[in-house]
Structure 1
Amino acid sequence: MLQDVWTVFWRDWLVLKRRIGRYILSRMISPILYLVAFGWGLGRSMAFGQESYLDFIVPGIIALNSMNISFNSVSSPLNMSRLYHKTLEEYLIAPISAASFVFGKVLSGALRGLISTSVIIVLAYLFGAHFSVNLFFLGALLLNCLLFASLAVVAAMKMGSHEEMANFNTYVLLPMSFLCGTFFKTDHLPLAFRYIIEMLPLTHASYALRSAALGGEVGYISLVVMFAYLLIFTFWGVQLLKKVRE
């Protein structure tokens, strides 16, 4: 099984390796805009306790970016492969299990998320942010990339058109991008609304990354929640692929 997972992952890595330079450069644009607009612009007049707003927002940007990159690098290509190019059928007739295919795709999506996040971390230090990259931070980051890559498999197998995939981004990812503690603390939200926000995976990614980066308490609960989401999405994705194979 590990060899089958590696085969799926390696195919996606070969595609990425051919354009790794352009990929990294393209992933610099959005973080630079966030850091300039919120870090240097809005952030100069704001502070959160002992931290500057730039220090506060960097973990949120990392959570947001790793979500988007890990999800989009799997969802759209897989959805197009299933509906239009029909290249998914090559995997379906190959002698590999559904779990091997899903694991390989999830790992490839997580790799792209980690590469993109590495670019953001370097840029954030260049912009003058102060935060720590430790084992807990890396663990939370990896979990975030994996769980949204696994969600991408589910979305790609469920959405029936490119338009539906775009709607999924609009109705699911976009609200999480701005409401899940990425750019502000959720403490002042209405209580009922806050309960909903607290259930979303990106909220726990933001909490875990921020607590690790700024030296707060270790957010073990957030890690457990993220791992639970990862298991649910991965199992769901495997079942959906098995159903298509039948």
Structure 2
Amino acid sequence: MNPQSEAVVPPQPRDYQGFNWAGFSTLYLREVRRFWKVGTQTLAAPVVTALLYMMVFVVAVRGAAPPVHGTAFATFVAPGLIMMSILNNAFANSSSSLLQAKFNGLIGDFLTPPLTPIEHVSAFALGAATRGVLVGAVTWAAVLPFAHLPVTHIWAVLYFGIGAALILGLLGIMAGLWAEKFDHMAAVTNFVIMPMTFLSGTFYLVDRLPEPFRSASHFNPFFYLIDGFRYGFIGHAEGSLITGVGMTAGIIVAFTFLCLWMFETGYKLKT
């Protein structure tokens, strides 16, 4: 048979059975390397901010701030600062990644590869969670000279720390897909993330707030994240741990499905 008479068969696209681990790991590593390359901004800056808060709320008021539930004020504040670093950095990682890709016209780099919505969401969320947990760990080490932090319940530290990083990573995905310009992202950060963080008992007991702010704080998901995380260190919680555990798992599931829907429908991606 003449070889030239044979029909030329074009190469077949790769068929991924099940989860595309190669594509997922590539996108995940891309998200990690993205923030790692600018470590001064993504890792060092949050630690400096946390240390400044420690100086203001602990050193400047030393002797004036009484112990909280038998716990030194510095030990009470430190877990809140660590959690605040986790929340802010997890949100910033996924939201800025998607918004910058849309702004620079590079969103096709995410949509062209053979990745399903679950692979997109998993990579972006876990990349954001990695940054949040890493910044939290570095902040933890940085505040140790100012506060003694004995770990009394390691499960609470891990559960609420990782859970908070995932929640804000997923929220960052939704914000990054929704936002059309950097002003939109700044609005979410300044009018949603920061108020919810500061009004969740980061630096104080929410029971000392006047009404209706005291009751409203118990409807703030960030309150349960910070309260559960702090419980892991000092062994005391203001709110219900059962509520916090269930709420954390429920929000992760709900946000995951919402992010999957946004990628599945191409929400503000295919227009």
Which residue of 2 is the match for residue 167 of structure 1?
187
Gap change, CA 1:2 and 1:43, over 3 Å in 2: farther
Gap change, CA 1:162 and 1:16, over 3 Å in 2: closer
Offset at 1:189?
2.7
Q: For the residues of structure 2 that align with 1:19 and 1:65, how far apart are their CA atoms?
A: 17
User: Matched residue of 1:51: which SS?
Assistant: coil
Offset at 1:44?
3.6
Q: For the residues of structure 2 that align with 1:187 and 1:199, how far apart are their CA atoms?
A: 13
Q: For the residues of structure 2 that align with 1:130 and 1:140, how far apart are their CA atoms?
A: 16
Q: For the residues of structure 2 that align with 1:20 and 1:193, how far apart are their CA atoms?
A: 37
Offset at 1:190?
3.9
Which residue of 2 is the match for residue 203 of structure 1?
223
Aligned sequence identity (%): 20
Moved more, 102-111 or 228-237: 228-237
Structure 1 residue aligned with 2:262, among 237, 240, 243? 240
Alignment of 1:147-162 (within 5 A): 147-162=167-182
Offset at 1:120?
1.2
Q: For the residues of structure 2 that align with 1:118 and 1:55, how far apart are their CA atoms?
A: 16
Which residue of 1 is the match for residue 53 of structure 2?
34
1:228 is the counterpart of 2:241: no
Which residue of 2 is the match for residue 90 of structure 1?
109
Alignment of 1:73-88 (within 5 A): 73-82=93-102, 84-88=103-107
Gap change, CA 1:171 and 1:21, over 3 Å in 2: closer
1:126 is the counterpart of 2:174: no
Which residue of 2 is the match for residue 45 of structure 1?
64
Which runs of 5 or more residues in structure 2 are unaligned? 1-18
1:13 is the counterpart of 2:35: no
User: Matched residue of 1:45: which SS?
Assistant: coil
Q: Is the 8 A contact 1:70 1:110 kept in 2?
A: yes
User: Matched residue of 1:184: which SS?
Assistant: coil
Q: Give RMSD over aligned pairs.
A: 2.0
Q: For the residues of structure 2 that align with 1:192 and 1:26, how far apart are their CA atoms?
A: 35
Q: Is the 8 A contact 2:78 2:147 kept in 1?
A: no
**TM-score using structure 1 length:** 0.91
Offset at 1:147?
0.4
Q: For the residues of structure 2 that align with 1:56 and 1:128, how far apart are their CA atoms?
A: 9
Moved more, 8-17 or 203-212: 8-17
Which residue of 2 is the match for residue 102 of structure 1?
121
**TM-score using structure 2 length:** 0.83
Q: Count matched residues.
A: 245
Gap change, CA 1:242 and 1:21, over 3 Å in 2: same
Offset at 1:186?
1.0
Offset at 1:62?
1.4
Gap change, CA 1:120 and 1:243, over 3 Å in 2: same
User: Matched residue of 2:144: which SS?
Assistant: helix
Report which of the two structures shows the higher radius of gyration computed on alpha carbons. 2
User: Matched residue of 1:227: which SS?
Assistant: helix
Gap change, CA 1:150 and 1:15, over 3 Å in 2: same
Offset at 1:23?
4.0
Q: For the residues of structure 2 that align with 1:180 and 1:202, how far apart are their CA atoms?
A: 6
Which residue of 2 is the match for residue 72 of structure 1?
92
Gap change, CA 1:161 and 1:22, over 3 Å in 2: closer
Alignment of 1:208-219 (within 5 A): 208-216=228-236, 219=241
Q: For the residues of structure 2 that align with 1:87 and 1:117, how far apart are their CA atoms?
A: 30
Gap change, CA 1:80 and 1:15, over 3 Å in 2: closer
